[in-house]
Amino acid sequence: MENKRFIYLDHAATTPARPEVVDAMLPYFTEKFGNPSSVYTFSQQNKAVITDCRELIANSLGAKSNEIYFTAGGSESDNWALKATAEAYATKGKHIITTKIEHHAILHTAQYLENNGYEVTYLDVDENGIVKIEDLKNAIRPDTILISVMFANNEIGTIQPIKEIGAIAKEHGIIFHTDAVQAYGQVPIDVDAYNIDMLSASGHKLNGPKGIGFLYIRTGLKLRSFVHGGAQERSRRAGTENVTGIVGLAKAVEIAFDTMEQRTQKECKLRDYMIDRILAEVPYARLNGHRVDRLPNNVNISFQFIEGESMLIMLDMAGICASSGSACTSGSLDPSHVLLAIGLPHEIAHGSLRMTLGDENTMEEMDFVVDKIKEIVEKLRSMSPLYEDFVKRNANQ
């Protein structure tokens, strides 16, 4: 009998650390354990290693080394960017612009700020999930201090017109932050060309370790410290450096950028193959997100008359890991705020499936998964009274 398969299609949730990443990290747990703040050579070597890592990451964005601040990941970077800007620029104004489709690390931080006297405008997006530039321009006020728009969406993969948004922010003298957790390592980013003032990224979304990320902060921004204590991270984020994490993150970044072109080309091929097969072979299915301005690894499809959660369970039984259109913090049955923002009715948003690809996926897996999806959709629809009614009504017309 064939062994049970394991097909991982949830790379937007997290990715496996590459073996090279783990190998690079290991010595820093044991023989190279020194605290980078100590004065003796043994520890100063680790300080030098962190400097090299910072430089490698800065180069990947066209930034300067001293503009990269290590954090515990995407959520911390997003929190820091919003809260610290709000506090530092409160005398200029208390208005922030973001979008309805941000990650909860942004949305919940924005809500926190609203509860503390700030005003937030949440921009609508069009049916493909793209921010309307006119709406952005209209939302800008004299007291607007920050625009935060994600580079690419984690659910539907849509890539925003970041260059245009950056130019508008710059023209109005407003700080521009982007949550690039999904885009970083997948698409080229240049902070100067795009006028990005702050950028969040996370290690575990690009085949690095969990619990490490960074915030890029452009020189000259007045941001308060996020963690008070020692002088680490230029006194803005205290605490003994996560040396192993930083080394692993830098290795993951190095590989991600060295392999970006061929890797994303391969992913686009798999992605488009899967999308085309599903749309051609499964009736009453629709693609969510922009067809072209889309992350190379994102497939998001709504299947009418189906509960995404039921699909997930059946896919899981077949050894396939995917994600549904419900709130990613599971346990909630609310449909995804992103799918509602692109205009899907609740019942269609509920029938959505996100599959996000990685380096290790193959064309053969795509065929296996699409065949399984066809089987599952047919089975679930055959048990659905809604679908039965729909078919009957159609036949009578």
Contacts to ligand PLP by CB under 6 A: 73-75, 78, 103, 105, 150, 154, 179, 181-182, 202, 204-205, 213
d(CA 96, CA 106): 11
The first and second tokens of residue 181, run together, are 């957790």
Q: Give Rg (Cα) of the chain.
A: 22
d(CA 191, CA 261): 19
CB nearer to ligand PLP: pick between 152 and 311: 152
48 sits in which H/E element: helix 41-61
CB nearer to ligand PLP: pick between 295 and 380: 295
Q: Minimum CB separation from ligand PLP for residue 340, in Å?
A: 17
C-beta atoms surrounding 385 within 10 Å:
8
Q: Minimum CB separation from ligand PLP for residue 371, in Å?
A: 29
Q: Minimum CB separation from ligand PLP for residue 82, in Å?
A: 12
d(CA 184, CA 16): 16
d(CA 372, CA 320): 9
d(CA 35, CA 39): 9
CB nearer to ligand PLP: pick between 46 and 300: 300
Q: Minimum CB separation from ligand PLP for residue 105, in Å?
A: 5
CB nearer to ligand PLP: pick between 252 and 278: 252
C-beta atoms surrounding 240 within 10 Å:
11
- 3-state SS, residue 275: helix
Identified catalytic residue from 53, 268, 321, 328 = 328
d(CA 118, CA 98): 13
d(CA 88, CA 82): 10
Q: Is 53 a catalytic residue?
A: no
CB nearer to ligand PLP: pick between 34 and 296: 296
What are 147's strand-pairing partners? 97, 176
Closest CA to 37 of 233, 217, 213, 209: 233
Q: Minimum CB separation from ligand PLP for residue 51, in Å?
A: 23
* Residue number with the smallest Cβ distance to ligand PLP: 74
Q: Minimum CB separation from ligand PLP for residue 314, in Å?
A: 25
CB nearer to ligand PLP: pick between 299 and 376: 299
CB nearer to ligand PLP: pick between 256 and 285: 256
Q: Minimum CB separation from ligand PLP for residue 211, in Å?
A: 8
C-beta atoms surrounding 130 within 10 Å:
19
d(CA 198, CA 202): 14
∠ at Cα 171 (170, 176), nearest 5°?
Answer: 25
SS3 content of the chain, % helix, strand, coil (to 5): 45, 15, 40
- Residues carrying an active site annotation: 328
